[in-house]
Structure 1
Amino acid sequence: MPTTPDERLRRYLEQIVPQPTLGQMLEEQPDHESVPAVPTAPRAQVRQARTAVEKLAVGRELTPAERFTLEAIVLPDQRPAIDIVDGDFAVDHPLWSHFAGQAIRAVLRRVITSIGRIELPGHPTLPYGGTGFVVGPGLLMTNRHVAEIFAAGLGAAGLSFRPGLSAGVDFRRERGRDGSLFLAVRQVVMIHPYWDMALLRVDGLTAMQAPIPLSLRSPEELAGRDVAVIGYPAFDPRNDAEVQHTVFGGVYNVKRLQPGKLTGSGLIASFGKSVTAALHDSSTLGGNSGSAVIDVATGHVAAVHFAGHYLVTNYAVPARELSRDARVVDAGVVFAAVPRPEPEVWADWWDIADPREVATTTTTAAPSRDRVTLQPDGAASTTVITVPLEISVRIGTAAPVAPPPGAVAAGAVVDGALERAVEPTHDLDYSSRRGYDPDFLGVAVPLPKPTKPKTLARLDDGDHVIAYHHFSLAMHKSRRLAIFTACNLDASPQRKRPEPGRDYTRKGLGGLGGNDTERWFTDPRIPQIHQLPDRFFARDQGAFDRGHLVRREDVAWGTTYDQVRTANGDSFHTTNCSPQVAGFNRSDGAVNWGALEDVVQRQAGKDRLSIMAGPVLAAGDRVFTGVDDTGDVQVQIPSEYWKVVLAADGDRLQAFAFVLEQDLADVPLEFAVDAPWRQHMIAIRELEAKLGTLRFPKAMHDADQSGTELGEAVRASAALDLVAS
């Protein structure tokens, strides 16, 4: 995948516009006044775009202005977003003028009325969830990640609406039109365990909302075909705002037709696995999730759009793949020809989602829509069913189905032992906690002071500092996350392993069996509503890691084995947990966030460190709807974290400050949180200004190593950028 914006833009342009054609387009662009749908660029911008093309051809770096100008001229011309008004559209773009031809226009007008916006009535933060389209009698198809905004469960059994939430579909929502055609979603029929696809039941569909047949042709067969993505693109803050405004005319959330081409298939991560998705190059945004990718030659659904990389490609669930699943066929989805489902396709994933279901399928040319589910009680039996064919089905004890790699069903037996979620061993006598020691380094380093102390959770004695073994923290009571943590680290061998021969592994210290997993626990000293329970992280559909703010390895030390064990256990309080995307504290062979202490330790040559850390609690943090012990809960998820590592050289303090932010430029999933992280070194004064919620002690300001020789050595060793003031 391209690694720089210029390389990404160059490859994208090569994909959608051959270079000679691009040059001709830029030469002719000033004459486009007669084409109102294509913005006319000033001659200076055209010259700048032409210069950008020449520089890309020889590998020279573009200026931001050149990159913007080239995108703003090419994208609206080559991959426009066309308004749909009163169920119809007008095409003035020369490249797509054939869409106005009688045959294609008739095909698209027929399907437009069957595509609607997934509404979220009463949702506290989201106006709508994405796009859906009719695929059978009373049946809508959309993305799994759209349905999971308002629905709970996985598979086809036991699905429900999240408490207090509902959904509907509006088949209008057009630009400049106030009319609405809203139907309530009555039932969540399916949330597919493998593909990013869901089925919803609605009542009240008319002949105007006829099912759109799904194609049985593969992405490879359809590669190079013209397609139209029809949906409701929303403004996406991850992409260039000015380019978006140019392509979409500054108008979002309304029905659009976005032409492009199918380009084959490719791999993408989806819900913890790698899937082979269909690829297309239409201009899509968040809000297009669940859009139908229509083959304009036939009017069939070639794929279901679910993700996109800006200026790279877009990903969609191939319709042909859905035809292979008997459960999808039996749900009533209409296909363009007779589907031939494969009995065992994705059986491992279905077994996890609906473990007690035994589905019977036939291989006849026309599968019945009447679904029969048999529940054996363990004893072999023979059942005769007339449907109207007489079929003899022998049922014995169900053979175990191996789950997909890395997946374990609830209550499953793994390697002969039951997997359990167990609280790690921890001290139940909270009076023994001493917390962070400000004199640990031999130089006094007091805790930071909050600028708004009324926002913090309080102990019974009124103190906001919550002490544990070797660390302390303070909780923001409405965000339910720590506003800061502070810990002491002693990395000397005699403190890390004070009693040789004992088990110092993570499971050994936690008292866990070989197949057990850790269940985090709340702190009884503060109100439950001021902290997040383990259930929030266990029921988040895999969106986040349980991220240690204070590293377990940093505080698991002592003069006895019991001290190491109890300190280890304290790190599993949910007060020390912050929802973090995958990769935050996981080691991947490079210097990751959790290893910054190690870098400072090597450079400073010290066994003893003090570390302060926490999330950047920004007002604009995105809201995630999850579940706590009382029901649904909305939690703002931080996109940045900070850390200050402190060491002492004799009586001289040294402070190294860092921030970690998400780089959202290459996030593939629309409306998703997952993203790579980017690390920076930052001056203490800049960090304090960035947070606005804490005041660091003068000793830390005076000890700031950003810009010093030692600070540069740390930065170089960790391959970090320096945040300029």
Structure 2
Amino acid sequence: MVQENSERLKKYLDMISRREGGIEGVMHKLGAGRRPREEGAEGPAPARPRTGAAPARPKAGAKPVTAALESAARGKPIPPQDHELLEAIIFEDIRPAIDIVDGAFTVTHPLWTQLSGDAATRTRIEAAIPLVGRIELPGNTRIPYGGTGFVVGPGLVMTNRHVAEIFAEGLGDRRLSFRTGAAAGIDLKREHGRPAGTVLVVRKVVMIHPYWDMALLAVDGLPAGKSLTLGLDDARELAGRDIFIVGYPAFDPRNPVDVQDAVFDGRYGVKKLQPGQLQGGVDTSSFGKLVPAATHDVSTLGGNSGSAMFDLATGEVLGLHFGGRFHERNYAVPAAALSRDDRVIAADVTFAGKPPGGQTEWSGWWLRADSAEGPASGDNGAAPSTGSASPAAAPVSAGLSISAQGGSVVIDVPLRITISLGSATPVTVQAAAGEAITEAMREPDHDTDYSTRKGYDPGFLNDPAQKLAKLSVPMPKAASAKVLAKTRDGDTILHYQNFSLSMHGERRLALFTACNVTKAPELKKPEPGRDYTRRGLSGLGANDQERWFIDPRLDEKLQLPDVFFTKDRKAFDKGHIVRRDDVAWGRSYDELKRANGDSYHVTNCSPQVGGFNRSADGTDNWGDLENHVLSEAANERLCVFAGPVLNPDDTVFVGAGGEGAKLRARIPERYWKVIVSRVDEGLAAYGFVLEQDLADVDFEFQVPLEFIPALVPLSEIERIAGVRFDRALNQADQFASLRGDEVVMRQGVRRKTRIGAK
């Protein structure tokens, strides 16, 4: 690891010092004009250190700086003790972050004096500053702010798709909506030592681009007649061009705390000027595909997402920053690519000249977005109204008719409900002619010929459409094989359609599950015109309730029956460990339906407090995390492992066991999940733990709590869950990486190094 860090630093220093004629040129300029270290950073007096922050490390003297740079210049390995010193040099001098106060800035860095010393350059930068703002999330207590955005047209702000998806859902420009209870705004100030500015409300989500990591927001109150201009020159062909970014870098836990606090003076989330250079183009992972991104070497941090990347010579926006790898390279959506997109042009984005438009290589992604089902709200991206909705505006679903008859409103659903108006006449409900109201517990449709099941595929991340190196993601194993239940054939693995699992014999619950997940529409809906709803796939009537079923390949005594969940334990959900929607895919409708049915085996069930799988706004706790991982993946495929944490001290509940028997079972209080994706450099693995509180569980009600997942190391999941992951997955663990930081910031999850004992 030390050698890898040394090589990474050396390569990065070589790249960012080309502008100065190499590392020797940097040494010469720093030696001639470097600021005295005791003066501190430029700008206003340092703010008080963050509570709990490590004290800032003393500034390095000239001799250690020279020695560290000389080692790099001569191609020698950089000693570990010099790594942090070189990181600080990069942050402070070569690629600094400069405070913006009252829309102005002062630069004393020897390598970047032209930013404020050249009048024309300074004017261009200061013209851009007021049109860049911080994306605010009113009412969101889990995420301090969303990122950065900038004005690109009349009442129009551009930011990243992954920023917009914090508060909005949908894809494309036709079926967009705000998430339940979510709101957003932009503050064009947010400078150090100054009061917060006015938060301008995001009125509507105009576009969430289906290919690029870009979104457009309609915002009221933006400066009249002012907009940044997107350039037509392709940033991917401008390697070496000087650029600057204006954004709101956040504290980044990947970097040494003392180095960051020394450079940023403990000030994060405020407007900064960050200079650098373009570094060409490269394919990188983004929302289930590889995209041809522009690259740059600005020292961006979390919070810079959605920042404009400006041409220092013209002031035009050359790209939209969306991510990167720390001190390797950063990625941006090329503005020139957006100028070829007719829908971006039609949205009234301002370009430097006439945008070419025309056919693009991502037109198929627009077709997918157009054909996708939209949010149920049907608000077309508008912010939630604070007033009452007009009844006349309510959409009428298929199979529902509303008519007026005299002084009554008649609604057929197909129940007929007659509401008389103008008097206190009671509401009457009668069954429509020829229809009977029935409700029954029924097993969803499922295939009982288990010979067709191949189960989890470890090579699933190898998309046949991509010419990439083959990867394998093996299933987990039990830390002790003795705990595993054996099937009637003596095996310890049960294979289903698109997933497999192993049962814990004593606990009668899955120890772990392994499934293949895809969002590819040709696999989620392989045959147009078929019914892909949950009830349609399950063959259930409108009033039927799902009854889960035993797997005949395993002794019934090793499984918790459906009656345990439905007889008298109303505080528990029958929680899918493998999510039904995850595995409901196939190359044919029959395959997809088989996978849907398989998810209702009680072997895939674990007793969970009501609401455990849903956050407070009704969304799926796990589903959002999977969508986030896909946002940085190279294809639309995931391998997902999950299971309960089977603690021997879990609380025992006594419930129905069938035929009048009583069944004693311990209820897990924690669940874990590992999500594995393919990224441009190989594998990326994310580990999570979600806890449920059983303190208030009662026979007669469900506990309406919100459950917040924690990002944890895979090694910690191994410790608490009694499983072992393949070595390649532990090496791909994103707990301490930039991608892990993005999960924490964008999804509002906690980060925990260790899960405490019960």
TM tier, smaller: 0.5 to 0.7
1:412–1:418 Cα contact (<8 Å) kept: no
| Alignment match, 2:162 | 145
- Amino acid across the alignment from 1:513: D
- Amino acid across the alignment from 2:205: V
Q: Secondary structure at the match of 1:513?
A: helix
1:307–1:669 Cα contact (<8 Å) kept: no
- Amino acid across the alignment from 1:71: E
Equivalents in 2 of 1:631, 1:353: separation in Å?
34
Does 1:409 pair with 2:521? yes
- Amino acid across the alignment from 2:558: R
1:306–1:669 Cα contact (<8 Å) kept: no
Does 1:580 pair with 2:661? no
Where do 1:255-654 residues align within 5 Å?
Answer: 255-355=271-371, 408-409=520-521, 414=526, 426-427=549-550, 432-434=556-558, 513-514=590-591, 518-519=595-596, 520=599, 523=605, 526-531=608-613, 536-538=621-623, 542-544=627-629, 545=638, 547-549=640-642, 578-583=672-677, 615=689, 634-640=708-714, 641-643=716-718
TM-score under structure 1 normalisation? 0.61
Deviation at 1:308, TM superposition (A): 1.8
- Report the count of equivalent residues: 524
Kindly provide the CA deviation profile for residues 680-713 of structure 1, in whole angstroms up to 9, marking residues without a partner as x.
Answer: xxxxxxx9x954325xxxxxxxxxxxxxxxxxxx
Equivalents in 2 of 1:80, 1:655: separation in Å?
43
Does 1:132 pair with 2:196? no
Q: Secondary structure at the match of 1:582?
A: strand
Equivalents in 1 of 2:223, 2:187: separation in Å?
13
Deviation at 1:173, TM superposition (A): 0.4
| Alignment match, 2:195 | 178
| Alignment match, 2:473 | none
Equivalents in 2 of 1:281, 1:259: separation in Å?
9
Deviation at 1:5, TM superposition (A): 0.9
Kindly provide the CA deviation profile for residues 601-654 of structure 1, in whole angstroms up to 9, marking residues without a partner as x.
Answer: xxxxxxxxxxxx9959799xxxxxxxxxx999754444434337999xxxxxx9
Does 1:107 pair with 2:121? no
- Amino acid across the alignment from 2:550: D
Where do 1:676-691 residues align within 5 Å?
Answer: 690-691=754-755
Q: Which ranges of structure 1 fall in alignment gaps of 5 or more residues?
A: 358-402, 437-456, 469-474, 483-505, 552-572, 595-612, 620-629, 648-653, 676-686, 695-725
Deviation at 1:55, TM superposition (A): 4.0
| Alignment match, 2:757 | 693
- Amino acid across the alignment from 2:337: E
Does 1:21 pair with 2:114? no
1:173–1:254 Cα contact (<8 Å) kept: yes
Residues 1:514 and 1:576: Cα distance change in structure 2 (over 3 Å): farther
- Amino acid across the alignment from 1:427: I
Deviation at 1:151, TM superposition (A): 0.4
Deviation at 1:132, TM superposition (A): 0.4
| Alignment match, 2:82 | 66
- Amino acid across the alignment from 1:14: D
Residues 1:228 and 1:58: Cα distance change in structure 2 (over 3 Å): closer
Q: Secondary structure at the match of 2:112?
A: helix
Kindly provide the CA deviation profile for residues 67-99 of structure 1, in whole angstroms up to 9, marking residues without a partner as x.
Answer: 111221343111111111111111111211111
- Amino acid across the alignment from 1:434: L
Q: Secondary structure at the match of 1:195?
A: coil
Residues 1:593 and 1:302: Cα distance change in structure 2 (over 3 Å): closer
Q: Secondary structure at the match of 2:106?
A: coil
1:235–1:252 Cα contact (<8 Å) kept: yes
Q: Secondary structure at the match of 1:89?
A: coil
1:307–1:668 Cα contact (<8 Å) kept: no
| Alignment match, 1:502 | none
Deviation at 1:41, TM superposition (A): 9.8
Does 1:237 pair with 2:312? no
TM-score under structure 2 normalisation? 0.59
Q: Secondary structure at the match of 2:27?
A: helix
- Amino acid across the alignment from 1:549: A
Does 1:117 pair with 2:134? yes
- Amino acid across the alignment from 2:13: L
Q: Secondary structure at the match of 2:254?
A: coil
Equivalents in 2 of 1:220, 1:412: separation in Å?
35
Q: Secondary structure at the match of 1:354?
A: helix
1:616–1:639 Cα contact (<8 Å) kept: no
Deviation at 1:48, TM superposition (A): 3.0
- Amino acid across the alignment from 1:66: D
Deviation at 1:414, TM superposition (A): 3.2
Does 1:5 pair with 2:30? no
Kindly provide the CA deviation profile for residues 422-453 of structure 1, in whole angstroms up to 9, marking residues without a partner as x.
Answer: 679942899934259xxxxxxxxxxxxxxxxx
Deviation at 1:579, TM superposition (A): 3.9
Q: Secondary structure at the match of 1:5?
A: helix
Equivalents in 1 of 2:305, 2:257: separation in Å?
19
1:129–1:287 Cα contact (<8 Å) kept: yes
Q: Secondary structure at the match of 1:580?
A: strand
| Alignment match, 1:381 | none
| Alignment match, 1:681 | none
Residues 1:139 and 1:46: Cα distance change in structure 2 (over 3 Å): same
Deviation at 1:203, TM superposition (A): 1.1
RMSD: 5.2
Higher relative contact order (CA 8 A, sep 6+): 2
1:323–1:335 Cα contact (<8 Å) kept: yes
Residues 1:344 and 1:16: Cα distance change in structure 2 (over 3 Å): closer
- Amino acid across the alignment from 1:542: N
1:418–1:515 Cα contact (<8 Å) kept: no
Q: Secondary structure at the match of 1:542?
A: helix
Deviation at 1:413, TM superposition (A): 5.4
Deviation at 1:37, TM superposition (A): 3.9
Equivalents in 2 of 1:508, 1:668: separation in Å?
27
- Amino acid across the alignment from 1:693: A
2:526–2:589 Cα contact (<8 Å) kept: no
Equivalents in 2 of 1:343, 1:512: separation in Å?
33
Q: Secondary structure at the match of 1:70?
A: helix
Kindly provide the CA deviation profile for residues 527-554 of structure 1, in whole angstroms up to 9, marking residues without a partner as x.
Answer: 4323459955556563355733359xxx
1:324–1:342 Cα contact (<8 Å) kept: yes
Residues 1:589 and 1:417: Cα distance change in structure 2 (over 3 Å): farther
Kindly provide the CA deviation profile for residues 250-274 of structure 1, in whole angstroms up to 9, marking residues without a partner as x.
Answer: 2100000001111111121001111
Deviation at 1:411, TM superposition (A): 8.7
Deviation at 1:118, TM superposition (A): 0.3
Q: Secondary structure at the match of 1:349?
A: helix
| Alignment match, 1:369 | none
Deviation at 1:220, TM superposition (A): 3.6
Residues 1:342 and 1:62: Cα distance change in structure 2 (over 3 Å): same
- Amino acid across the alignment from 2:738: V
Equivalents in 2 of 1:79, 1:56: separation in Å?
17
Q: Secondary structure at the match of 2:172?
A: coil
Stretch moving more, 427-436 or 259-268: 427-436
Equivalents in 2 of 1:185, 1:38: separation in Å?
34
Equivalents in 2 of 1:461, 1:64: separation in Å?
62
- Amino acid across the alignment from 2:127: R
Q: Percent identity?
A: 37
- Amino acid across the alignment from 2:642: L
Q: Secondary structure at the match of 1:549?
A: strand
Deviation at 1:20, TM superposition (A): 1.2
Equivalents in 2 of 1:413, 1:481: separation in Å?
23
Does 1:164 pair with 2:164? no
Residues 1:11 and 1:248: Cα distance change in structure 2 (over 3 Å): same
- Amino acid across the alignment from 2:25: T
Deviation at 1:214, TM superposition (A): 0.3
Stretch moving more, 53-62 or 164-173: 53-62
Residues 1:315 and 1:646: Cα distance change in structure 2 (over 3 Å): closer
